Structure formats: structure tokens, C-alpha cells
Structure 1
């Protein structure tokens, strides 16, 4: 199971990287289009969709690598059971919030598909298509928080952020 989860986080990170490459290609295409006088309407919308997708798809991998910003002022003063209790409470709250985010992201995709919602830009893209990136990213993020909560509960969680290493 550990190998499968780590693979899921890696795939999500690679998809985020691919989205960033798509942003680069879209922006380059727009710049070249302007230079040669060729209109490329709608490409900026796709760059925006790819940028949002990159952000959401990178959430889980960033969490698992300990790169999310954490305020450890109070946590750094605690040791033992108190520290573990605060970690568990924070992870439970974060997991709950990530679950709500995932649920409502998937619900948004479903509603956009049901109502045949289209973008208002020149691209006229069905909105459920770019929203899938957000839904997938938030689902993987929720799974990553569940994973972190389970690992902390079992005492197997490794704190990889450089900030945590300085306090321990």
C-alpha cells in the first residue's frame, strides 16, 4: 500500500509539472503569435487552467515532502504526548478540511457537467474539463492527509521538513 500511495503522490506531482510545461507552451505560443501578427485567442484561458491544475495537483506531493508552510512556534515548545496530541489534532482538522475541499471540488465538476457550464471566454471550454484537475488534486491531497494522520496515529510519521529537523 505504501508503494502505491507514494506512486500516487509522484504521479500527481508529475502531472503538476506537466501543467507547468503547458503554461510555458501557452505563454510562448501567445508571445510568438503577437510577434508575427497571428491571433491566438483563448490560449490565455488554457494557461490559466493549467496553472490552477498545477497548483492543485502539487498539493499532496508538497505535503508528503514536508514542504507546506507550518507554524511551529507552539509545536516546537512541546515534547512527548503533548506534541503528539497537538500533531494529531492538527492533522484531524486538516484532514477534515481537505475532505470538504475534495468533496466540493468533485461536486463542482459534477454540477458543471450536469448544467453544461461553459467558460465565458473566447475558448468556450466546458468548465468540467479544467475543473477535473482541481478535483483530482484535492482528492489526492485528502488521501495524503489521511495517510499522514494514519502514520502519526501509528507513530510512524517522519517529519521531513527542515524546520522540524531543527526542533527535534
Structure 2
């Protein structure tokens, strides 16, 4: 299980780099738009494209935050308990996150499937086929759901084995206990 979690972390490191490059490309596009406006020749569509990039980067980036244990969690009660209690709270938090991710990915597929069926396009000058940004967004949520399920399974297995410190290592918070 530890090997799978390390593998997941390495993949999410790569995902974070790609997301960073996507943001950087978006910044370059916006800067080009600003310069082009100065010369009276705006590029157009940068607001639409940057919105799509932000949605894609966010949906993919949450998986990196997950493996880095960077998601915000209110742990007022968690820190009051012993190792078994903290591990139980960590498993509950991960299972909840996996559930939300799975539900979002499931419903996201419904939206994407409908778009694919209708061939919907954005009501903008670019007339972007909406399946493109929706597919990127949905794939990010699906990857997040997969990552959350893998970490949840790992955490529950470790908890059942009584390895409470290991649970904290893979899904715990950074709070000093």
C-alpha cells in the first residue's frame, strides 16, 4: 500500500507541475492581451480561456493538495484525542472527501455526456465546444476521486492494523499534536 501511495504522490507532483505551466501560459496570454490592447488590436477571448484554465487547474490541483495533506480541516476535536481517535477522525475526513469527490465526478459526467450529445458551444465570440473545458474539468475531478479513494482505502487498512501513526502520515493534518 505504501508503494501505491508514493506512486500517487509522484503522479500528483507531475499534475501540479502541469497545472503550474497551465497557469503560466494563462498569465502569458493575459499579458499578450494587455499589450495588444495598448496597440488597439485586442486578442479577445482571454477572459473565457482564463476561466477554463482556472476550472481545469483547480480540479486537477486538488489532488496534489490531497497527497500533500494541504486541504484545510478544522481539527478542534481531533487534537484532543489519542492516536486511535485521531486516526479515526482522519479516516472519517478522507472517506467524506472521497464521497464528495465521487458524487461530483458522477454528476460531472452527466453534464459532460449531455454536452457531448448536444454538441453545445459557448455563447461567446470563440464559440468554444463546451465538451473541451468540461472534459478537462471532469477528468480532474475523476482523478481527485480516484486519489481520495486510494488514500481512504490505505488509511482504513492502516487503521484496522492499528498503525495509527501511519494513518496520520498519509492523511493526517499538519497540526502539532
Output the TM-score relative to the length of structure 1: 0.88
Change beyond 3 A, Cα 1:70–1:162? closer
Change beyond 3 A, Cα 1:160–1:95? closer
1:149 aligns with 2:152: yes
Match of 1:113 among 95, 106, 116: 116
- Report if aligned partners of 2:90, 2:172 keep a CA contact under 8 Å in 1: no
Supply the distance in 2 between the matched residues of 1:18 and 1:110 (Cα, whole angstroms).
28
- Which consecutive residues of structure 2, in runs of 5 or more, have no partner in the other structure? 159-165
- For 1:27, the equivalent position in structure 2 comes to 30
Aligned length: 166
- For 1:44, the equivalent position in structure 2 comes to 47
Following superposition, the deviation at residue 123 of structure 1 comes to 0.9
Supply the distance in 2 between the matched residues of 1:40 and 1:5 (Cα, whole angstroms).
39
Match of 1:163 among 164, 169, 174: 174
1:53 aligns with 2:64: no
SS of the equivalent of 2:77 reads helix
- For 1:81, the equivalent position in structure 2 comes to 84
- For 1:72, the equivalent position in structure 2 comes to 75
Supply the distance in 2 between the matched residues of 1:144 and 1:85 (Cα, whole angstroms).
19
Q: Any runs of at least 4 consecutive aligned residues in structure 1 with deviations exceeding 6 A, and if so which?
A: none
- Which consecutive residues of structure 1, in runs of 5 or more, have no partner in the other structure? none
SS of the equivalent of 1:163 reads coil
- For 2:163, the equivalent position in structure 1 comes to none
Deviations 1:38-92 (A, max 9, x none): 1212122111111111111100011110111111111111113333222222222
- For 1:6, the equivalent position in structure 2 comes to 9
- Report if aligned partners of 1:56, 1:138 keep a CA contact under 8 Å in 2: yes
